[in-house]
Amino acid sequence: MKKRTEYRTQGVLKRISGPVVTAVGLDAHMYDVVKIGHEELMGEVIKIQGEDIIIQVYEDTAGIRPGEPVENTGLSLAVELGPGLLTSIYDGIQRPLEVLVDKMGDFIERGVSAPGLSHEKKWEFVPTVGAGDVVEAGDILGTVQETNIVHKVMVPPNVKGGKIKKISGGSFTIDEIICTLEDGTEITMLQRWPVRVPRPTKEKLNPDIPLITGQRILDGLFPIAKGGTAAIPGPFGSGKTVTQQQLAKWSDSEIVVYIGCGERGNEMTEVLTEFPELEDPKTGKPLMERTVLIANTSNMPVAAREASVYTGITIAEYFRDMGYDVSLMADSTSRWAEAMREISSRLEEMPGEEGYPAYLAARLSEFYERAGRVVNLNGTEGSVSVIGAVSPPGGDFSEPVTQNTLRIVKVFWALDAKLSQRRHFPAINWLDSYSLYLDALDDWYDREVSPEWNPLRAWAMGVLQKEAELQEIVQLVGSDALPDEEQITIEVARMIREVFLQQNAYDPVDTYCSMSKQYDMMKAIRYYADLARAAQASGATPQQIVSVRSKNDLPQIKFIKDYEPALAKIQEEMAAEFDAMRAA
Amino acid sequence: MKEYRTITQIAGPLVFVEKTEPVGYSELVNIVTADGTVKRGQVLDTSDDVVVVQVFETTAGIGRDSGVRFTGETIKMPVGKDMLGRILSGGGQPIDGGPEIVPEKRLEITGAAINPYARGSPEDFIQTGISTIDGTNTLVRGQKLPIFSGSGLPHNDVALQIARQAKVPGSEEQFAVVFAAMGITREEANYFMADFEKTGALERSVVFLNLADDPAVERTITPRLALTTAEYLAFELGYHVLVILTDMTNYCEALRQIGAAREEVPGRRGYPGYMYTDLASIYERAGIIKGVKGSVTQIPILTMPGDDITHPIPDLTGYITEGQIVVNRELHRKGIYPPINVLPSLSRLMNLGIGEGHTREDHKKVSDQLYAAYAEGNDLRGLVAIVGKDALSERDRMFLEFADLFEDRFVRQGLYEDRSIEETLDLGWELLATLPEEQLVRIDRELIQKYHPNYRKKAQG
Ligand SMILES: Nc1ncnc2c1ncn2[C@@H]1O[C@H](COP(=O)(O)OP(=O)(O)OP(=O)(O)O)[C@@H](O)[C@H]1O
Ligand SMILES: [Mg+2]
């Protein structure tokens, strides 16, 4: 057998068919990044078949001809990690969109490369360890004040570590050496990490702290834990994006990575214009300062869309490694799955269900598996919570992407077109949705909200369940035919829906509702329910109970910032009205 | 330019050519038949051995004796200011007997994506004069808002009424209409053209006509030609352009036809798996750009096969566009024009274009309340059919009546009735006033006291 002496990095194109091209005459490994044609378009090796190297191209291939050169860089698709990530907006392969506007104007042309981070900008590095200290992979060397967020500079996970020979504070670019080890290893603030490989951690922890989102139906009924996974499936226009944006705005994580994967350009613009104006309710700092955006819109190349979720989660893991709680929103994972399908069909692979590749389920679970609350290599604790939107064709949840996702994630927020058509927002169906974290989070709610909260929640869910049963009867005989007691149940359920569950994302106050306000609101509804039951027991008619006027003021509480006095007044009035009823 | 006579296979709209020099992907191809006619096509797949060409016109007349010329460039559209007022074929050739277009530029028809960082936020309220749009599904400049209709419904009238009445109150900027017909009948096309001529809109329009008897494959480039023209008018000449694309259903059928000819693995109901991406490359070509004067607003029209909104064509469209206006058969049967069903309709950019400084401070809450009340009344109709009106509570009866009133007064309006936004909102309040005040849970107290007819009357004396 002839031994191969030379690794061939140069080849030529043999075939071009949309985003998939075939090259010959070069050697390659799977997922190597290659440069295609005279314009050096970026691509990635996705299949090797004898001499044929099959490549997905991250840019438009129009005009490219067989015979053009192909060069293998020998590297895998990686992102640049370091100071400068926050407030950035990237495309699917981490090209900063702001830089692209400078380089090529308002439209995205091809063949332009731009590094993910600025290599010129200087950052003020403050060491937290000194010469003579021994550091290991992942350990924190020092800090950079990136925005209002402190960026921790770490030993890259793939560097063995050792005794520090020299470390110096001061102003550095990400390429300058900040630390040298005894063995000669030089460390900069820049790490490159291949996106398809999870960053290592020491240990996974159990998620037992909720990610508080300020959204009543989520925090109150179907909470997600920090480091947990959730899916929001729903037909078009049912509220996936608004919910994801609400989470990006208000959830109490320290870093947010928002991936617009194959969705609308205007939605990303909306985030870009809105976030800098909004303040974190806890810290009062602009929300944009903790955010990284990835925008590979529906009309951008489909291969880069496939890459965008990996780019996003790698950035999320990097901040987790610093000890932060990170949440990642992917809108929409269906577009990612469709990108896989499109590439797979160009490869003429044997299709699985509905044309999706047979490895769809595996890819989805690998992705969600990168979520979690962990102990990092450096001993800090951090988390990545992943919330994926799913866009089922025709709104039918039985399709492969929804089904495969539900097998993995722990929280299901089922959007319902029937609710959104009634403008009941968030249009999350309270009967179909679930959270498997409830038990794990009970203690937290007990401790941090009130020991009364968990029973109150169970009571509200019970009323809603009962209402659903009663509605079936009402559909047959009308509401007047129900027994008195059930008529009151219907009324209380209506209040839970209209007062508690409905929440207007566009109202300046109602957009965010603290856990204590959620608790107070639910308690007020319960207060009415208890008075109503007592009144009924002492002979009041449902009509009398339902027409208690003061309860109609409850929805107004949502729009009032300092609501406590108003709520107290309503409750007093309720008591007075019921007293009067009993007296009559 | 070299001419090859190496066609080996012709299947549907696809022509396979062998033994060529290297040919670029997506390149424009001219095929010359024996009688000298030139047919245009585009490269779908290129390799050392074989090049696959998709022909835009009928392949009738093409044979192994036909000559194939590769132009070495991708399809470009000549554009110029004197396109306004012109009627072009679905392939972009003048068909109005006028002179050739003098091109000021030749632009790539696929159109690059607008960098999201360069996009401006669409927030200029467009008043269409139609209450169900302005009041409850507001259109803004730079939005893509399709009309979902069914065969035999008056969607063309609605589109024309929008084109006639659309204005941004208080603005005098120049605007233009780009109209692209795909596979519609001559009769329908004439209906549009007659209205354009009558209202003088033709002078500031560019019309592309691919009619029912024109080649189906040509339909796949018609909207791209139209949008290239619109982007030129908007972003280079500063026009506010309204693009009407009709009927996107025919466009999608053409895509399916090509997919089948290429023997691709079909997706849902036989449509190609990449239809979402393909439609996005059309619909996303709307918007505004920071620091640039013009805008592109799109109103695509599609007919839902079997009135089914979950059919792949409306479904994929709805996943891309910024809402939808749904034209409804039941309302049409009731004799209500425009038969717009607000419940499944939506404008996602509405919140950006309404409220203080845009329309009126009460707009959002009035709209929400109208929706909620109409939805509730509409639900009760089902119940009444089973248990009769008598079994309803008094509250329910009021909502039931509200639903009828809403359709009769708010939805129904004349073909030429142009309501201002104030008229629309006041009408909304008038209808809401038929409900007890405490039922208006979606509206804050202050707004009620400011706009509710009861208080207004008091305030006026
Ligand atoms: N919490 C909310 N409060 C107020 N309005 C909402 C809320 N959620 C959704 N909406 C309304 O519903 C519309 C559609 O929501 P959204 O854009 O999130 O849908 P989507 O599920 O992402 O649709 P698509 O799949 O097409 O992207 C919004 O434009 C808004 O008008
Ligand atoms: Mg969305």
Question: Is residue A1 over pLDDT 60?
Answer: no
Is the CB of residue A297 less than 8 Å away from at least one CB of chain B? yes
Q: Which of B20, B21, B25 to mutate to test the interface with A (most CBs of A within 10 A)?
A: B25
Q: How far apart are CA B165 and CA B167, in angstroms?
A: 6
Q: Side chain identity at A28, as an amino acid letter?
A: A
pLDDT digits (tens, 9 = 90+) for B109-122: 988 899 999 999 99
Please give the pLDDT value at position B109: 93
* Chain B partners within 8 Å of A17 (Cβ): 25, 44-47
Question: Is residue B312 over pLDDT 50?
Answer: yes
Q: How far apart are CA B235 and CA B120, in angstroms?
A: 12
Please give the pLDDT value at position A21: 95
* Nearest atom of ligand 1 to the alpha carbon of B320: 26
pLDDT digits (tens, 9 = 90+) for B81-108: 899 999 999 999 999 999 988 999 999 9
DSSP letters spanning A485-548: HHHHHHHHHHHIIIIII---TTSTTTT---HHHHHHHHHHHHHHHHHHHHHHHTT--HHHHHT-
Please give the pLDDT value at position B433: 96
Q: In the structure, what pLDDT confidence band is assigned to residue B215 with cuts at 50, 70 and 90?
A: confident
Question: Is residue B129 over pLDDT 60?
Answer: yes
Burial category of A549 from C-beta neighbours within 10 Å (exposed 0-12, middle 13-18, buried 19 and up): exposed
Q: How far apart are CA B141 and CA B126, in angstroms?
A: 6
CB B415 within 8 A of CB B161: yes
Q: Give the residue whose CA is nearest to atom 28 of ligand 1.
A: B348
CB nearest to B268's CB, from A61, A109, A393? A393
CB nearest to B284's CB, from A298, A345, A478? A298
Q: How far apart are CA A283 and CA B109, in angstroms?
A: 48
Minimal Cα–Cα distance from B191 to chain A, Å? 32
Give me the interface pTM, i.e. the ipTM. Answer: 0.92
pLDDT digits (tens, 9 = 90+) for A396-409: 999 999 999 999 99
Q: What angle do CA A477, A480, A485 make, to 5 degrees?
A: 110
Across the interface, whether the CB atoms of B319 and A236 are under 8 A apart is answered: yes
Q: Which of A232, A241, A418 to mutate to test the pocket of ligand 1 (most atoms within 8 A of CB)?
A: A241
B372 alpha-carbon distance from chain centroid = 27
CB B176 within 8 A of CB B241: yes
Q: Name the 3-class secondary structure at A469.
A: helix
Q: How far apart are CA B334 and CA A501, in angstroms?
A: 35
Predicted TM-score of the model (pTM): 0.93
Give the β-pairing of B50-55 and B86-89.
unpaired
In Å, what is the CA distance from A210 to each residue of A223, A226, A229, A330?
6, 5, 12, 19
Question: Is residue A106 over pLDDT 60?
Answer: yes
Across the interface, whether the CB atoms of A269 and B264 are under 8 A apart is answered: no
Is the CB of residue A187 less than 8 Å away from at least one CB of chain B? no
Q: How far apart are CA B262 and CA A345, in angstroms?
A: 12
Q: What angle do CA B267, B273, B278 make, to 5 degrees?
A: 140
Question: Is residue B259 over pLDDT 90?
Answer: no
Minimal Cα–Cα distance from A553 to chain B, Å? 8
Ligand index nearest the alpha carbon of residue B346: 1
Name the token pair of A304: 């880069």
Q: In the structure, what pLDDT confidence band is assigned to residue B459 with cuts at 50, 70 and 90?
A: low
Question: Is residue A202 over pLDDT 60?
Answer: yes
Q: Name the 3-class secondary structure at A188.
A: coil
Q: What spacing in Å lies between the alpha carbon of B431 and ligand 2's midpoint?
A: 32
> Which residue, B29, B63, B64, is CA-closest to B46?
B29
* Nearest atom of ligand 1 to the alpha carbon of A245: 18
